[in-house]
Amino acid sequence: DLTAMIAGIDPSLDIAMTTNGILLEEKAKSLKAAGLKRLNVSLDTLHSDRFKDLARRDALDRVLRGLTAARQAGFSPIKLNMVVMRGRNDDEILDFARLARGEGYEVRFIEFMPLDADGIWSMDSVVASREIIDAIDREFPLEPVPDQQPAPATRFRFRDGSQGGIGVIASVSDAFCKVCNRIRLTAEGHLRTCLFSIQEHDVKALLRGGASDDEIRDFVAAAVWQKEEGHKIGQADFVRPAKTMSQIGG
Residues in the interface with ligand SF4 (CB under 6 A) total 11
Per-residue x/- mask for ligand SF4, residues 78 to 117, rule CB under 6 A?
----------------------------------------
Rounded distance, CA 187 to CA 25, Å? 24
> In this structure, how many other beta carbons lie within 10 angstroms of the beta carbon of residue 226?
12
Compute the least distance from the CB of residue 209 to ligand SF4, in Å.
Answer: 28
249 counts as binding ligand SF4 under rule CB under 6 A: no
Per-residue x/- mask for ligand SF4, residues 140 to 169, rule CB under 6 A?
------------------------------
Among 180, 191, 223, 248, binds ligand SF4 (CB under 6 A): 180
Among 28, 55, 60, 195, binds ligand SF4 (CB under 6 A): 195
Rounded distance, CA 241 to CA 237, Å? 12
- Count CA atoms closer than 13 A to 82's CA, side-chain side: 32
121 counts as binding ligand SF4 under rule CB under 6 A: no
Among 43, 231, 241, 243, binds ligand SF4 (CB under 6 A): 231
- Residues 93, 130 contacting (CB under 8 angstroms): no
DSSP 163-228: S-EEEEE-TTTT--GGG----EE-TTSEEESSTT-SS-EEHHHHHHTT--HHHHHHHHHHHHHT--
Rounded distance, CA 25 to CA 231, Å? 36
- Residues 29, 69 contacting (CB under 8 angstroms): yes
177 counts as binding ligand SF4 under rule CB under 6 A: yes
Q: Which residues lie below 8 Å from residue 101, measured CB to CB, with a gap of 6+?
A: 140, 158, 162, 163, 164
Compute the least distance from the CB of residue 198 to ligand SF4, in Å.
Answer: 12
226 counts as binding ligand SF4 under rule CB under 6 A: no
CA–chain centroid gap for 89, Å, is 17
Compute the least distance from the CB of residue 39 to ligand SF4, in Å.
Answer: 22
CB-based closest residue to ligand SF4: 180
The helix or strand, by DSSP H or E, that contains position 43, with its residue range, turns out to be none
Among 95, 103, 116, 228, binds ligand SF4 (CB under 6 A): 228
Among 93, 175, 191, 223, binds ligand SF4 (CB under 6 A): 175
Q: Which residues bind ligand SF4 (CB under 6 A)?
A: 175-177, 180, 182, 194-196, 228, 230-231
